[in-house]
Structure 1
């Protein structure tokens, strides 16, 4: 049996390497410079956080320099790790699509995908009921995504064909299925707190009720799914 022909769209290796190496180096440099000027800042009566700066200035050399460089590098590694966790990888093949992010692996059969488009920095997979199978933030090249999906015969759309169907959500909005208002209210709070994981889970819950939701600057907009003719 022939191996499945797959097109993978991911951030360039050079960019990934730059983040993995550059962030720890930048963190080490920034914290080292802070430590080097800690005594001067601590002497400024109006400067904030004088306690931490006095503590930094009191560390004898060379331990102050060694500690600040190590702490900065660790902070940079933490930021690089968060970036790696949030990085999206898209695998497209004739039989379906796979989205990988932070250890989460989502698969979509080709028969369920009616179209694909970009909404700003989000990749959206449309379902056959006009709902959204996935809406994922990404930093991938749009032309590479378009080429990958078109190569495997998916319908690549110029934009959201149902954008005009969305309505602004306010608490108590009528015409929504039972339970949807409560979920949207909880999701509004998740957006306010920038809890992306909870907001994504609530989007999935709303999708099961036949409600498609998108947000702009933490304002929610909704529409109902409907069967394709």
Structure 2
């Protein structure tokens, strides 16, 4: 081979090599399946969390309609969350154990998405008689709750407890929402725009909080 010709061919070969690497990388990237979060129906959830009457349900589970009162005394329903991704939890303002950690972590998630109107938050008081609107208002101010984005709610105890047990599957304890009934759970529940459960997280665990933030980003891609 002519040495002069070989020297002239080197740049061409280098360029072809670079394009080959790029092409192979693109093909490999396109072949990697895009991560997608599962949809949880009652049959997919730990049965100890699911009301016995619903453990057989395999499809089409959605969060039931609800009517609650937020920190501003406003009535909040599922209509306020239509077309939104949201994180739900259950707490009470006098809790001195897991709830302060959970609320701090929820505030961190709120901060990560404070400019994203598609992301909202919903906290349910499990001691609604004690957590009146003025109590919730003071609590929300102290914890940095953004009005309109994060609703901290009270309401009918039986209604809230039924949501926890038959919609969100967030608690282990059985009960009827009566006077002696009490639930306490660290679970954060991620809900999609179709009112479906997409995952559960330990609201006291920093690693789970980071995973939740990343999962919200993944979930948003489903609607792009």
Structure 1 and Structure 2 fold alike (TM over 0.5): no
Higher RCO structure, 1 or 2 (CA under 8 Å, sep 6+)? 2
Which TM-score applies when normalising by structure 2? 0.30
Which TM-score applies when normalising by structure 1? 0.30
Structure with bigger strand share is: 1
